[in-house]
Amino acid sequence: MFNPRDIIEILAANVRQTKSPFGIPKFMVNTWYKDHSLPKEGEYLLFTGLMYQFSPFIETSTQYLEKYEDTKTADYLKYAKWVPGYISGMGLAMMTKGKEKRKAGQPLKNIAYLLQKSKVNFGYRPDLDNYSGILLYDMGDQKGFVAHAKKVAQKLKNAGIKKIITTDPHTAYALKELFPKYTGISFDVKPYFELLNFEPKDCGLEVTLHDPCFFGRYLKASDITRKQLSNMGISVTNIRNQGEFTSCCGGPAESISPSLSNEIMDKRATELEEPGKPIIAYCPICLGNLKKSGAAVEDLSTLLARHA
Amino acid sequence: MSLVNLDFAEELKEYSGDTALECFNCGTCAAICPLVNDNFPRRMIRYIQVGAREKILENSDELWRCLHCGLCTHTCPREADPGEIILGLKRFVLANWRKS
């Protein structure tokens, strides 16, 4: 296990300096929309919170953390907070494979396609799409989270945004529950899958759904995904820990203790693999972590886009 | 030896709700926690109840093993909200670290 204080101070300094927990400049992280001609205006604003885009960088940093956990080298981590965020971020960006960076944007392209196919009136503004600060909140850096969240919320408010579509559970929770409480600014927040509207189909498939904690338990949104899948003739296997009682993928522990994260991840992957059906996740953290375990898992948006 | 701080629950109110005193130590949270680790989070809640402020600071690293998955809060029969209590303790410990 790493010293939590070292990790928190690095993340907090990065968010303060670069608005990103990893210090990577936004123009290097958020590129998925560039080969799409998405409208800028609409009834809803598509807001990714950059979480899918961060996943390859999380994977790279976790690989290094895994190497040094519980070694003497881990003690030097406390000096990392003195390295300017952009410099460590650029380093992390260069150590991450281009192929992985391109792949990370695919779920977002799928989501944009699904929303367009469902005739949802939405726009995308890269300048307004920022990290929500949720990791600082989860780590207990309340001051850091509130300061960052206020800037993000104010920017959205100034742009006249009232309705937001989110793509991942962590950003959805931050915008729906935490922003009103800690910034005083509220939006009408909906996860993308709530707005999808397709003709019923019969795909004749069966999948095992891994509900992320924040969609399954905190936001109680797991019935919505099941209804969408059922509408396409895709049934969901029954496993012991699902819906409101879903089990964590281990992802939240990966910066503090990669070994603990792997332990939790393996337990969950075994449970998900038991029915022998394709595994579907709908959170970039869960997706990355379950893939790491070797499980055959894909994102909900990929499955839906293939059959819509 | 650690001293008991009778005002500790009061001090914690700045960082979280005051639900720790609702807990009757049934252990459901520790049983359902994916960490399955040494009575976590029950032990931490007990420390709050008895005012063992220093014990929490001594064992503070343990708090960051919490995944914030919310299973303990979802199943707590007393609605004591163990997940939020642990999050509040993280805030309290971090504030202490930053003061030191």
Residues on chain A touching B12 (C-beta within 8 angstroms) = none
Give the pLDDT band of residue A244 (cuts 50, 70, 90).
very high
Across residues A294-302, what is the average pLDDT?
Answer: 97
Residues A244, B35, B87, B1, Cα dihedral to 10°: 150
Examine the pLDDT at A81 and tell me if it is beyond 80.
no
A228 alpha-carbon distance from chain centroid: 20
3-class DSSP assignment, residue B51: coil
- Tell which wins on pLDDT, A147 or A92: A147
Put simply, the answer to whether B35 touches A1 (Cβ < 8 Å) is no
3-class DSSP assignment, residue A202: coil
Nearest CB to B69; choose among A4, A248, A257 = A248
Residues A231, A235, A241, A245, Cα dihedral to 10°: 10
Q: Which of the listed residues A163, A194, A225 is the one where a domain comes to its end? A: A194
**Domains: count for chain A:** 2
Regarding whether A107 and A24 lie in a shared domain, the answer is yes
Q: Which of the listed residues A168, A194, A220 is the one where a domain comes to its end? A: A194
Per-residue confidence (pLDDT) for residue A272, from 0 to 100: 98
In a domain, A200, yes or no: no
Q: What CATH number does the domain containing A290 carry?
A: 3.40.50
pLDDT for B15-70, tens place per residue? Answer: 988 899 999 999 999 999 998 778 999 999 999 999 999 999 999 999 999 999 99
Per-residue confidence (pLDDT) for residue A288, from 0 to 100: 95
In a domain, A122, yes or no: yes
Per-residue confidence (pLDDT) for residue B1, from 0 to 100: 67
Per-residue confidence (pLDDT) for residue A78, from 0 to 100: 83
Contact A116, A109 (CB under 8 A): no
Ordered by start, the domain boundaries in chain B are 8-99
Regarding whether A178 and A212 lie in a shared domain, the answer is no
Q: Is the dihedral of CA A158, A164, A167, A169 positive or negative?
A: positive
Burial level of A146, CB count in 10 A (0-12/13-18/19+)?
A: middle
Examine the pLDDT at A124 and tell me if it is beyond 70.
yes
* Side-chain-facing half-sphere of B62: CA atoms under 13 Å: 18
In a domain, A199, yes or no: no
Joined together, the tokens standing for residue A154 give 């104010």
pLDDT for A17-62, tens place per residue? Answer: 999 999 999 999 999 999 889 999 999 999 999 999 999 999 999 9
Examine the pLDDT at A286 and tell me if it is beyond 90.
yes
Across residues A271-275, what is the average pLDDT?
Answer: 98
Range of the domain at A302: 205-307
Contact B32, B72 (CB under 8 A): yes
Burial level of A263, CB count in 10 A (0-12/13-18/19+)?
A: middle
Regarding whether A118 and A37 lie in a shared domain, the answer is yes
Nearest CB to B65; choose among A139, A245, A257 = A257
Contact B40, A253 (CB under 8 A): no
Q: Please state the pTM of the whole predicted model.
A: 0.96
Put simply, the answer to whether A248 touches B64 (Cβ < 8 Å) is no
Q: Which of the listed residues A142, A174, A194 is the one where a domain comes to its end? A: A194
Regarding whether A261 and A154 lie in a shared domain, the answer is no
Regarding whether A211 and A169 lie in a shared domain, the answer is no
Regarding whether A143 and A92 lie in a shared domain, the answer is yes
Q: Is the dihedral of CA B30, B33, B34, B40 positive or negative?
A: negative
Q: Which amino acid is located at B94 in the chain?
A: L
Residues on chain B touching A256 (C-beta within 8 angstroms) = 64-65
pLDDT for A58-73, tens place per residue? Answer: 999 999 999 998 898 8
From CA A86, how far away is CA B18, in angstroms rounded? 40
Terminal Cα-to-Cα distance of chain B (whole angstroms): 22
Regarding whether A240 and A216 lie in a shared domain, the answer is yes
pLDDT for A155-169, tens place per residue? Answer: 999 999 999 999 999
Residues on chain A touching B94 (C-beta within 8 angstroms) = 5, 8, 139-141
Regarding whether A134 and A107 lie in a shared domain, the answer is yes
Examine the pLDDT at A75 and tell me if it is beyond 90.
no
Q: What distances in angstroms separate CA A303 from CA A102, A207, B37, one per listed residue? A: 18, 10, 37
Regarding whether A237 and A104 lie in a shared domain, the answer is no
pLDDT for A191-228, tens place per residue? Answer: 999 999 999 999 999 999 999 999 999 999 999 999 99
Regarding whether A23 and A156 lie in a shared domain, the answer is yes
Residue positions counted in chain A: 308
Tell me the helices (H) and strands (E) count for chain A, helix number first.
15, 8
Interchain CB contact of A252 with B (< 8 Å): yes
Regarding whether A120 and A33 lie in a shared domain, the answer is yes
Regarding whether A210 and A174 lie in a shared domain, the answer is no
From CA A294, how far away is CA A53, in angstroms rounded? 21
**Of residues B47, B50, B31, the one with CA closest to residue B39:** B31
Place of tokens 């005012």: B51
Examine the pLDDT at A3 and tell me if it is beyond 90.
yes
My answer on whether omega of the bond before B82 falls inside 30° of 0, hence cis, is no
Interchain CB contact of B69 with A (< 8 Å): yes
**Of residues A258, A227, A241, A199, the one with CA closest to residue A66:** A258
Q: How many CB pairs under 8 A join A and B?
A: 64
In this prediction, the answer to ipTM > 0.85 reads yes
Joined together, the tokens standing for residue A13 give 């300094």
Look over chain A and give the mean of its residue pLDDT values, rounded to a whole number.
95
Put simply, the answer to whether B61 touches A3 (Cβ < 8 Å) is yes
Give the pLDDT band of residue A77 (cuts 50, 70, 90).
confident
Residues on chain B touching A3 (C-beta within 8 angstroms) = 61
Q: Is the dihedral of CA A45, A49, A52, A57 positive or negative?
A: positive
